[in-house]
Amino acid sequence: MHIISRKALRDFWERYPNAETPLLRWYQIVRETNFESFQDLRKTFPSADLVGQLVVFNIGGNNYRLIASIHFNRHKLYIRHVLTHTEYDRGAWKE
């Protein structure tokens, strides 16, 4: 998948250094895989959830959330938010 943009990941792990390793692992897996559907993605990421039109990934043992818009037909993933679990629970990303 083509991921837009890695900068969002880097910006996040600069604020939360413990997030770097799990985010890089997620990035590598997604970059090397062309998921055909949400069901296909769930084979690799069983904890991923579909929230409206967005996919929410649990990252780093459920410490972080990555929220993305995925266009499976074009093999493109757009990172919308990278959050701590607490930030995610506040729900401001939904607005």
Q: 95 pLDDT band (50/70/90 cuts)? A: low
Domain limits at 23? 2-94
* pTM (two decimals): 0.91
**Total number of domains constituting the chain:** 1
CATH number for 9: 3.30.2310.20
Give tens-digit pLDDT for 25-63.
999 999 999 999 999 999 999 999 999 999 999 999 889
Among 53, 57, 8, 1, which residue's Cα sits nearest to residue 31? 1
